[in-house]
Amino acid sequence: MADSFSSEPDSKRTLWRAIRRFFDGTEGDTSLRAQLEEAIDEHEDGHQSGKGGDGDLTPLEREMVRNLLHFSELDADDVAIPRGEIIAIPASATWDEVVAAFAEHGHSRLPVYGETLDEVVGMMLIKDVFPLLAASKPPRDWTSLMRQPLFVPSARGALDVLNDMRASRVHLAVVIDEYSGTDGIITFEDLVEEIVGEIEDEHDDAPRDLFKDLGNGMWEVDARAELDDIGDRVDPRLGDVEEDVDTIGGLAFLLAGQVPQKGAILGHDSGWKLEVVAGNEKHVTRLRLHPPLPAVEDPEE
């Protein structure tokens, strides 16, 4: 029987053969990953029109294949929502406060903690809250509605976490650090986004630029801005951090030793000053970066 791909260009046949071998498992994973990436690179070099057809992969499909190849290289810490961005409910909250938290943040599930965020005791699902809310029958003890999230170490592979969620049908995982503290949380959507890209729905805010150039060397930045990006766009010294922090908000927490309050001004070794311009008692949301003062020349020199 003739090869069904015989009428297609060589790059196309190479790409599809590599994909089939990858999922058939006929060769070692490492070599197959390399072959797939090489095939995609060659394919893109020969097809710059951005159009796919007759079995070809579109640019979006090629990007998803790339993401899938690298997904197994990620661990829970790589894909988690950082601790400083977690929206959670204290177990001491009233029923009205629980309802208000869902209404304000628009999430379908929220972690519940005891004394601190390091003591996650469960999670609440909006689908368990809504029937009682619709019937105007508040529960005597809303914590009886809690369900248990998954708990995973920060070093657990992202693919393993995805399998854990599928097997348990629990779509929220709490990431635990080496000291058994809460390092972050992962939702099923976070894992899917690593493969298919950002997923936004009607509840998500409109995209907002994380960086705003204020002139005269000053910047206003979202606390979620990655330090690598800060280093590229503002000053490399701000992105060069030995501690395990990834965002400018995390750096502010590190410099303050706690969650800094609005109006706090934090000094950095480089001479930059980080001013907290928005946030609350749980996390920082926006910072203003003040550049180092120019060196004053010594008149005696």
pLDDT confidence band for 53 (50 / 70 / 90):
very low
**Residue 8: pLDDT band with limits 50, 70, 90:** very low
In this structure, the answer to whether residues 244 and 285 fall within a common structural domain is: yes
Number of domains the chain contains: 3
Chain segment 16-32, per-residue pLDDT in tens: 555 555 555 544 445 67
83 and 167 belong to one structural domain: yes
State whether 67 and 82 are in the same domain: no
Say which residue, 60 or 128, is predicted with more confidence: 128
Confidence of residue 66 (pLDDT cuts 50, 70, 90): confident
In single-letter form, the type of residue at position 197 comes to G
Report, as an integer, the average pLDDT of 9-21. Answer: 55
Is there a domain that residue 297 lies in?
no
Q: For the chain, how far is it from start to end, CA to CA, in angstroms?
A: 87
Q: Are residues 23 and 114 in the same domain?
A: no
- Once rounded to an integer, what is the mean pLDDT over residues 159-174? 92
Residue 203 covered by a domain: no
pLDDT in tens, 220-277: 998 888 888 898 999 999 988 877 778 898 898 889 888 888 889 999 988 999 999 9
85 shares a domain with 186: yes
17 in a structural domain: yes
Rounded Cα distance between 108 and 168, Å, is 18
**Confidence class for position 202, pLDDT limits 50, 70, 90:** very low
In terms of domains, do 192 and 87 share one?
A: yes
> What pLDDT does 45 receive?
59
Q: Which positions ≥6 away from 139 have C-beta within 8 Å?
A: 95, 132, 145
Within a domain: 298: no
- Give me the residue label for tokens 């995805």: 162
Query: Picking from 47-51, 65-69, 125-129, 171-175, which range would have the lowest pLDDT averaged per residue?
Result: 47-51
Lowest-pLDDT range of 87-101, 150-164, 186-200? 186-200
Residues 82 and 191 in one domain: yes
Q: Is residue 4 part of a domain?
A: no
Residues 246 and 137 in one domain: no
Considering the domain architecture, whether residues 112 and 166 belong to the same structural domain is answered as yes
Residue 44 and residue 142 in one domain: no
Say whether both 43 and 92 belong to one domain. no
Last residue of a domain, one of 71, 86, 101: 71
Q: Which domain holds residue 108?
A: 78-196
The answer to whether 259 and 249 have CB atoms below 8 angstroms apart is: no
**pLDDT reading at 78 higher than 50:** yes
Residue 299 lies in a domain: no
Check: CB of residue 182 under 8 Å from CB of residue 48: no
Last residue of some domain: 146, 161, 196?
A: 196
Highest mean predicted confidence (pLDDT) among 24-28, 42-46, 100-104, 244-248? 100-104
